[in-house]
Amino acid sequence: MTDTSNFRNGLVMRLEGKLYSIVEFQHVKPGKGPAFVRTKIKKIPGGAVIEKTFRAGEKIEEVRVEKHKFQFLYEKNDLYNVMNVETYAQIALPHSLLEDQLPFLKENLEILILFDDTEPIAVDFPIFVELEVIETEPGFKGDTAQGGSKSATLETGFVVNVPLFIELGDILKIDTRSGKYVERV
């Protein structure tokens, strides 16, 4: 057990039997009335973000989680096989754990997996991934970065809007939080 004075970004807690991670928090001491803590917490797994207010000093159940770096190997029968980069042990993750991030998953991608004891509870992808363009309309002479945009299909099947100068075979940096094109690598 801990209290609100120990809140920090990334802290994992159990509320009403479900796991949540603190995304953002703010201690508030109004002129009148008691102090409180305003938070944004993310459900694990699932990723739904909600806002919750706690009274100052309120007790919460902190959950100790371990993070381990894994490398994605392959997918088979809706299970995603990954390997621990330190011990080389392999585990299979269910589709539900990776669902929101599947458009960015490619072979050899390194991800962080959060464990509650020995059970994987969440997957953290890198903020940016580099993916190859496998299909897009050709650009036209005179097109510039300030021009319009077109859609491009990436090696994972993900479709993203890109500037007109992007061509087949280009490697693009994609933001995994928003799914938007960042730059050509």
pLDDT 10s digits, 34-80: 999 999 998 887 667 899 999 988 999 988 888 899 999 999 988 99
Residue 80's contacts (CB-CB under 8 Å, 6 or more residues apart) are: 72, 74, 92, 93, 94, 95, 97, 98, 105
pLDDT digit string, tens, across residues 147-175: 678 899 999 999 999 988 889 999 999 99
The reported pTM is 0.73
5, burial (CB in 10 Å: exposed 0-12, middle 13-18, buried 19+): exposed
Domains of the chain: 2-62 (2.30.30.30), 66-124 (2.40.50.140), 128-184 (2.40.50.140)
Average pLDDT for residues 136-146, to the nearest whole number? Answer: 65
Q: What is the number of residues in the chain? A: 185
Q: CA end-to-end span of the chain, whole Å?
A: 46
Please answer whether residues 78 and 99 qualify as being in contact, where contact means their C-beta atoms are separated by less than 8 angstroms.
no
Question: Which pLDDT does position 18 carry in this prediction?
Answer: 87
The type of residue at 105 is L
Residue 87's contacts (CB-CB under 8 Å, 6 or more residues apart) are: none
Instruction: Name the pLDDT band for 101 (thresholds 50, 70, 90).
Output: confident
Residue 83 or 164, more confident: 83
Question: Which pLDDT does position 53 carry in this prediction?
Answer: 94
71 DSSP assignment: E
